[in-house]
Structure formats: C-alpha cells, structure tokens
C-alpha cells in the first residue's frame, strides 16, 4: 500500500488528497518557508474549525434522525388507531349446473272413472253425442228412423222370443253410435228430454215375476219392445191386412202374448245380450 508522507511535518497518510490538503495548511507552509516552530494559536484554530465542522455534521444528522423518529411515531399511532382492514371474502364462482337431458314427455292415458256422475258428465261434454236425439223422441212412433226388416219371416208360426231378442240385439249393434242409451262400466245411461245423460238404475226384481204389477221393467226394455211391436204389427197389417189381427186362436194373439209383450221378458233377457255388443 502506498504511503504519502510529509517529512518536515512528520505527516503520513494513505490518501493522496489528504496529503494535498495538508500541504495547503499554515503549519506546513510555515515549516516549508523556514518557520520551524508551529504557531500554537493557528493549530488551535484549525482544531476548533475541525470540531465545529464535526459538530455541524452531527447536528444535521441529529435533525434528520429526529425527523425520521417522529415519522415512525406517527405511523405507529395511525396503525393502533385505524380500524382493522376488512378482508373481503371472495366466493368462488358457482359450479355450472349439470346438463340434464330432457326426456320426451309421454302423455299418459287418462284413468277412466267408475263414478256414474262423472261418466254422465263426460257423455254430456262429448261432442259426438250432440247429434243423438233424446230417449223419448227416438222411440216415438213418429220416428221413422227406427225400422226393422221382417222379410226373413216365412211363416208367423216361426216367430218366437228368440227371434225378437236376436232382431233387437242386431239392431242395437248396427245403430249403437246413434242410440240414446249406452252401457259403460256395468251401468246403463239414458239421454233425458233435457239433453243430459243420467244413469238408469234398474230395480231389483229377483223375487218378482215379470207378469206381476210389482215388476219394474227397464225403460230401455219397455221402449225397445214397444217400438218393435209397433213396427211388427204395422208391417203385417200392410202385408196381410187388418184381418190377421183378429183375436182368438190366431198367430197374432200368440205372437203378441208370447213374443211382443214385455210381461214375458225379464230385464236381463234383453239387457244382457245388448250390453255385450255395447261394452
């Protein structure tokens, strides 16, 4: 390491700028100029000047430190008095809903009711029943739409109850769409004169004979036999003349009393086979 020295002043330094500054001091100049005795007063002034410079530097540093200390105090006070920082909880975005494949809606068939009131109401609301005439008008003698074919009778002696039943069942089967009575869920329904449908409840005639006055025939049985008898007699009146109707031991008397009169029929004899072709 290089050492810079001033032999006349016995001054050594490793920094060249310090040596240059030393060479400009009064002490060094006096010694170089021949004044070998240092001036104590000059040395004292230089010492005082150095100390003043150091004091000024320290004073400036103290001021800076005090300012920094004050700032620290203020920050500490603000931290203690400030409300706590609210932490906002950020919820994660909701998971996407799973995609559900929508199955085609299959229309379920409506369950049929067994309540006669509701069944009658459904018949009232069915537009296909609007053109059906009421019960009393349909079985009127004046209604020429109700007709039977009797050309299959070769001889009157061949007419029996079975013939009448078969003819009526065949007629009902052929014209069931326009009849003012229906059979549904083990019950009979009739279209009243006001155009509304109602359930027909046949009386319990198990202990009665159909020939007795206490036997209650169904209006369907009575009306079918009545219109059939009317059309039968009218047909043979036109075919044979009124002479065939003379009472006594004649076919007319037998047919009326044994085949055409409702007193020889129980309700079930006609309603049961008719129900089989309507249900």
- Residue 158 predicted with pLDDT over 90: no
- Burial status of residue 139 (CB atoms within 10 A of its CB: 0-12, 13-18, 19 or more): buried
How sure is the predictor about 148, in pLDDT bands with cuts at 50, 70 and 90? very high
Over residues 11-24, the mean pLDDT reads 78
- DSSP per residue, 150-208: -TT-S-GGG--HHHHHHHHHHHHHHHTTT-SEEEETTEEEEE-TTS-EEEE-----TTS
- Residue 36 predicted with pLDDT over 60: no
Q: Where are the domains of the chain?
A: 4-79, 116-278
57, containing H or E segment: helix 40-81
Paired tokens of 22 = 């030393």
Ranked by mean pLDDT, the top range of 27-36, 134-143, 241-250 is: 134-143
Count CB-CB contacts under 10 A for residue 223.
Answer: 21
- Residue 122 predicted with pLDDT over 60: yes
For the chain, the residue count is 279
**Residue 207 φ/ψ, nearest 5 degrees:** -95, 5
- DSSP per residue, 210-261: TTSTT----HHHHHHHHHHHHHHHHHHHHHH-GGGG--SSSHHHHHIIIII-
Ranked by mean pLDDT, the top range of 7-11, 65-69, 162-166 is: 162-166
Tens-place pLDDT, residues 88-101 = 676 777 777 777 76
- Strands 181-184 and 187-191, how do they pair? antiparallel
* Sequence-ordered list of residues with C-beta below 8 angstroms from that of 39, at least 6 positions apart, any chain: 26, 27, 30
How sure is the predictor about 185, in pLDDT bands with cuts at 50, 70 and 90? confident
pLDDT on residue 249: 65
pLDDT on residue 170: 94
Q: For residues 189 and 192, what is the distance between their CA atoms, to the nearest angstrom? A: 9
High-pLDDT (> 70) share of the chain, %: 88
Q: Which residue has the higher pLDDT, 137 or 80?
A: 137
């Amino acid at each position: 390491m290089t050492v810079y020295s001033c032999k006349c002043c016995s001054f050594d330094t490793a920094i060249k700028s310090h040596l240059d500054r030393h060479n400009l001091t009064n002490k060094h100049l006096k010694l170089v100029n021949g004044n070998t005795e240092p001036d104590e007063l000059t040395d004292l002034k230089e010492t005082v000047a150095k100390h003043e410079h150091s004091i000024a530097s320290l004073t400036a540093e103290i001021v800076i430190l005090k300012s920094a200390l004050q700032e620290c105090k203020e920050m500490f006070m603000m931290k203690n008095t400030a409300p706590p920082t609210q932490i906002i909880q950020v919820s994660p975005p909701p998971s996407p809903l799973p995609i559900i494949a929508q199955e085609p809606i299959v229309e379920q068939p409506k369950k049929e009711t067994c309540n006669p009131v509701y069944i009658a109401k459904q018949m009232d609301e069915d537009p296909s029943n609007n053109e059906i005439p009421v019960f009393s008008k349909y079985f009127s003698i004046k209604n020429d739409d109700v007709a039977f074919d009797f050309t299959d009778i070769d001889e009157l002696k061949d007419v029996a109850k079975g013939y009448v039943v078969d003819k009526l069942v065949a007629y009902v089967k052929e014209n069931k769409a326009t009849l003012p009575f229906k059979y549904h869920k083990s019950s009979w329904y009739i279209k009243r004169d006001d155009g509304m449908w109602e359930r027909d409840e046949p009386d319990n005639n198990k202990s009665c004979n159909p020939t007795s006055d206490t036997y209650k025939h169904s209006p369907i049985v009575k009306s079918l036999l009545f219109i059939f008898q009317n059309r039968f007699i009218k047909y043979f009146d036109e075919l044979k003349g009124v002479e065939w109707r003379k009472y006594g031991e004649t076919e007319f008397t037998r047919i009326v009393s044994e085949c055409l009169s409702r007193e020889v029929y129980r309700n079930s004899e006609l309603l049961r086979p008719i129900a089989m072709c309507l249900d």
